[in-house]
Amino acid sequence: MKKIEVVGAIILKDNKLLAAQRAAGRSLGSLWEFPGGKIEPGETPEQALERELSEEFGAQSTIFEPFTINGDAKYDFGEIILYCYYVRLNSQIVKTIEHDELRWVDEKEAGQLEWAPTDVPVIQELIKEGFRYEY
Ligand SMILES: Nc1nc2c([nH]c(=O)n2[C@H]2C[C@H](O)[C@@H](COP(=O)(O)OP(=O)(O)OP(=O)(O)O)O2)c(=O)[nH]1
């Protein structure tokens, strides 16, 4: 099965997480995820994440440490391996081209969203840790 490596951003501000809802027509449509996307050949995960955040939001970012666990799930289109990093946005979000909605959520609200299956172990661990590491 095709392995697809994906990076996701854990963006925290005032104890809230930036959650993004995938646009309805896309793969895993309408499910919630970490902003990010596929790692392209020759890119490090950090480079991929910076690029994705620039493309999706028009925002500059700084990538900090990787999260303690990865996501991993199999779909009909391949196996997604999700690497998440703590990220600070250095500029405003000026656009959103790939999401139906962006929402700042606390732990309780995050637990009530329907996340992509890949993300479920990651978000559960993050909720357990608490939304307290702001960069
Ligand atoms: N960005 C992001 N993608 C995720 C997460 N969890 C997860 O399973 N994915 C999946 C959805 C997509 O199949 C893939 C990311 O690809 P992408 O967002 O760059 O999608 P794409 O532009 O290629 O669009 P598409 O063809 O998949 O619709 O990883 C997540 O938390 N963030």
The pLDDT score that the predictor gives to residue 134 is 86
CA of 133 to the centre of ligand 1 (A): 25
Regarding the beta carbon of 74 and ligand 1, being less than 6 Å apart is answered no
Structure confidence by residue, pLDDT tens digits, 76-130:
999 999 999 999 999 999 999 899 999 999 999 999 999 999 999 999 999 999 9
Q: What is the CATH number of domain 3-129?
A: 3.90.79.10
- Is residue 71 within 8 Å of residue 121, measured between CB atoms? yes
Q: Best substitution site from 3, 6, 7 to test ligand 1's pocket, by max atoms within 8 Å of Cβ?
A: 6
Regarding the beta carbon of 46 and ligand 1, being less than 6 Å apart is answered no
Q: Helices (H) and strands (E) in the chain — how many of each?
A: 3, 8
16, with CB counted inside 10 A (0-12, 13-18, 19+), is middle
Regarding the beta carbon of 37 and ligand 1, being less than 6 Å apart is answered yes
- Give the whole-angstrom CA distance, residue 132 versus residue 72: 25
Structure confidence by residue, pLDDT tens digits, 56-90:
999 999 999 999 999 999 999 999 999 999 999 99
What is the ipTM score, two decimals? 0.94
Q: Is residue 135 scored above 90 in pLDDT?
A: no
